[in-house]
Structure 1
Amino acid sequence: MVSRILVPFDASAPSEAALRFAFEQFPDASVAVLHVVEPFADHTDAGSEHDRHRWRERATGMAEEHFDEARAIATEYDASIETDWRYGRPGHEVVAHAATGDYDHVVMGSHGRSGIERLMLGSVAETTIRRAGVPVTVIPET
């Protein structure tokens, strides 16, 4: 029985579909939404303390906007969610969070990239499937 689900969420159509799938298929499970802020040059700790603080405020604000969207979806299912955000490579952060959060399932969307685009960008879903210690359900982009 699935009792605790992790749903990586970036407010994209596939992540919204994954969240809806989690509520529909596992109505009695506890659902946690994770947003991962990917590292970019302007996200580094280079610069002043003010720059680091300003970046963290922007990242927190962006995560909260995504969480508001996820909460709106949860409300449609008369459910609630836990939320958390991390900074790093999404595939690695999802796997690490799944391992430390006592989850027994991950439900995630996939953008369906293939070919050279997948090789260049990597695949968060593929990394999660290969490395997560729990079952992973991938909802494809429709």
Structure 2
Amino acid sequence: MEYKNLLVLTDFSEDAEHAVRTSVEFAKRYEASITLLHVIHDSTNLSFILSDDEYRSVDNKMEKHVERAFKALFEKVPELNSVPCKTKIRRGTPYINCLYELEKGDYDIVFAGSHGESRVKHVLMGSTSEKVLRNSPVDVFVTKR
């Protein structure tokens, strides 16, 4: 199997950072490119509460926050600069948007941390990585820190 296009899920947690570091080593070994994906989880239905201008303002602030988090990730994991790497932002439910990205893209494997930002939420709903693992059309590499 050839692994040329890696999708790496990140919520900017320590577990996700470990998955990023692992994917970089993998990308170097297989001469592959990395796409870092962050999904802005939007389950608040703010669009029903806020005016269009207010909603766009909140949306822009969230996107700028994620862009800063990506910049910080590249500083924490400078090895990312040694492989072809790009970033993507989606909005919605993380595992669903990851699966949409997999359908849309030409990915060979997905990397994810075993736990994300909220371990309590994991107990109640299951983790994004577990849901992606069960439904992914490609191989999934789940890392443990």
Residues 71 and 117 of structure 1, relative CA distance in 2, 3 Å threshold: closer
Q: Match for 2:98 among 94, 100, 104?
A: 94
Equivalent of residue 45 in structure 1, options 44, 47, 50: 47
Alignment of 1:7 with 2:8, yes or no, is: yes
Instruction: Give 3-state SS (helix, strand or coil) of 1:61's partner.
Output: helix
Q: 2:89 maps to which residue?
A: 85
Ranges in structure 2 where 5+ consecutive residues have no aligned partner: none
Aligned with 1:135 (options 114, 136, 139): 139
Find the partner of 2:127 among 123, 126, 129.
123
RMSD: 2.1
Give CA-to-partner distance per residue, 1:84-108, whole Å, 9 cap, x none: 1111111111111112111010011
Q: 2:42 is paired with a residue of what secondary structure? A: coil
Corresponding position: 1:17 with 2:18: yes
1:71 matches 2:70:
no
How many residue pairs match? The answer is 139
Structure-2-length-normalised TM-score: 0.85
* 1:59 aligned to which of 59, 62, 86: 62
Q: Contact between 1:71 and 1:81, CA under 8 Å: does it hold in 2?
A: no
Give the TM-score taking structure 1 as reference length.
0.87
Distance 1:3 1:51 in 2: 41
Residues 33 and 82 in structure 1, CA contact (< 8 A), matched pair in contact too: yes
Q: Could you tell me which runs of 5 or more consecutive residues in structure 1 were left unpaired when the two chains were aligned.
A: none
